[in-house]
Amino acid sequence: EAQVTQNPRYLITVTGKKLTVTCSQNMNHEYMSWYRQDPGLGLRQIYYSMNVEVTDKGDVPEGYKVSRKEKRNFPLILESPSPNQTSLYFCASSLSGQGANQPQHFGDGTRLSIL
């Protein structure tokens, strides 16, 4: 089954404790992206990757890191999480193209709470 898998689905942690949210897709997609969703603010793009070893900032990259060492995986790293990073996070992937011009498949989301 074609899917985007995120882990963990839920996480409660404390300020400053490094964490990683994993994302893996089995569709051989080149484009992958991370979003956060907050009430009243909608979905906002954090980082995206056009291919292996190629990443770039979205609209809200501060406080986050990503890496793309393999095509299928695109982890989101919070080196020193803070309460304002409490949010619902989605990973998504799509076929390659000239820009973000292909429909994206979303993972089930990770609900992150930073105390």
Partner 1 sequence: QKEVEQNSGPLSVPEGAIASLNCTYSDRGSQSFFWYRQYSGKSPELIMFIYSNGDKEDGRFTAQLNKASQYVSLLIRDSQPSDSATYLCAVNHSGGSNYKLTFGKGTLLTVNP
Interface residues with partner 1 (CB under 8 A) are: 31, 33, 35, 40-45, 48, 50, 56, 58-59, 90, 98-109
Report, in Å, the least distance between residue 5 CB and partner 1: 12
Report, in Å, the least distance between residue 18 CB and partner 1: 25
Smallest Cα–Cα separation from 110: which of 84, 83, 92? Answer: 92
Cα 30–chain centre separation: 14
Residue whose CB is less far from partner 1, 33 or 85: 33
Given a contact cutoff of 8 angstroms between Cβ atoms, the answer to whether 31 and 95 are in contact is: yes
